[in-house]
Amino acid sequence: MTERSGQAEDGTGGSVPTTPVCYRHPDRETYVRCSRCDRPICPECMREAAVGHQCPECVSEGRHSVRPARTAFGGGAAGRHGHVTKILIALNVLVMLLSIASDRGGDAAAGGSGFGGLMGGGTPLTDWGAVLGQAVFPDGTIGGIAQGQWYRLVTAMFLHYGVVHLLLNMWALWVLGRTLEAALGPLRFLALYLIAGLGGNVAVYLFSAPNSTAVGASTAIFGLFAAIFVIMRRLGRDTSAILPILVINLIFTFTVPGISIAGHLGGLVTGAVMALVLAYAPRMRRTVFQVAGGAILLVALVGLTLVRTGMLTGG
């Protein structure tokens, strides 16, 4: 029994009224009832509602019956907090520290063109994880993506040549990432970032010399530049401020020595295609279309990688 009501014997043959008690705490009398199920509830069990108070069970049931908030592209509203963007930045910084630690007295730690010179240099970690088609290492072994080291297509987007390289990319990620993550949701934004970065690295593998190396998050960053233009256009917002920044970055890509043109353009194109998939997916089948589009893009990138590998190995 969770409620006492009616009349009770008073010991003389008469009756006295009883008081309702909380359905969760039978020892507590209360005159307040849940506005949804009408059960009596004590102050500890009261939950503020639009009208009156509700019990904990009714509040829980109400939360389950309310659809979670979604962005215009089907993503979770949690993207407005920018957690994925922050995690990606933290991961890049952590890998930079590991890269410095891997260099025992080399040029990445101090002096010349190394870390101390701010422009950075290679470290054992960047040598291990950079995009590299095929090359003969100092110990006489042959390595590279063509030799099965496919992990380089992913690890390269988290490695950088020095602090300036890192800071420029992280600043761009901070500015672009939060806006895109809020618009797309965490998972869709992460998929966009990784696929754009992968696309840029595949382009490096396709169009660069087999023995050249490339690292950096800029493959993914250029994908974000293309994506924010597509997303803002889809939302009907002004994109006039985006184009000049994109043009300036493209000018730097073609004029500054040492920048991977293939990586930047590959990331730009791949990011644009993925953004189109996310932005223009039919509303009724949005998630299915987005997942299928991303999968097709990944299969295409794997196919291009296999073609390039066959060209380098003669397979």
Comparing 9-23, 69-83, 241-255, the range with the smallest average pLDDT is: 9-23
Taking only the tens place, the pLDDT of each residue in 172-193 is 999 999 999 999 999 999 999 9
pLDDT band at 131 (very low <50, low <70, confident <90, very high): very high
SS3 label, residue 284? coil
- Residue 4: per-residue pLDDT: 46
Q: Please answer whether residues 304 and 206 qualify as being in contact, where contact means their C-beta atoms are separated by less than 8 angstroms.
A: yes
| Alpha helix segments (H runs only) across the chain | 56-65, 83-102, 124-129, 152-155, 163-184, 186-207, 218-234, 242-255, 261-279, 286-313
Q: Best-predicted range by mean pLDDT among 21-25, 33-37, 137-141, 269-273?
A: 269-273
Q: Are 52 and 162 in contact (CB under 8 A)?
A: no
Read off the pLDDT of residues 198-240 as tens digits, 9 standing for 90 and up. 999 999 999 999 999 999 999 999 999 999 999 999 988 888 8
| pLDDT greater than 70 at residue 66 | no
Q: Under 8 Å CB-to-CB from 185, ≥6 apart: which residues?
A: 70, 71, 73, 74, 75, 76, 77, 78, 79
Closest CA to 87 of 170, 167, 159, 168: 170
Which residues are identified as catalytic? Answer: 218, 264
Tell me the three state secondary structure of residue 84: helix
Query: Residue 70 in contact with residue 184, Cβ under 8 Å?
Result: no
The domain spans of the chain are 20-57, 77-313
Q: According to the model, what pLDDT value does residue 9 have?
A: 52
CATH level 2 (architecture), domain 77-313: Up-down Bundle (1.20)
Q: Which of 263, 309, 307 is nearest to 148 (CA)?
A: 309
Distance CA 53, CA 22 (A): 13
Quick one: what percent of the chain has pLDDT higher than 90? Answer: 50
Residue 118: pLDDT band by 50, 70, 90 thresholds? very low
Distance separating alpha carbons of residues 61 and 30, to the nearest angstrom? 23
The residue whose two tokens read 């988290």 is 158
In this prediction, residue 6 carries a pLDDT of 45
- Counting residues of the chain whose pLDDT is more than 70, the rounded percentage is 87
pLDDT class of 54 with cuts at 50, 70, 90? confident
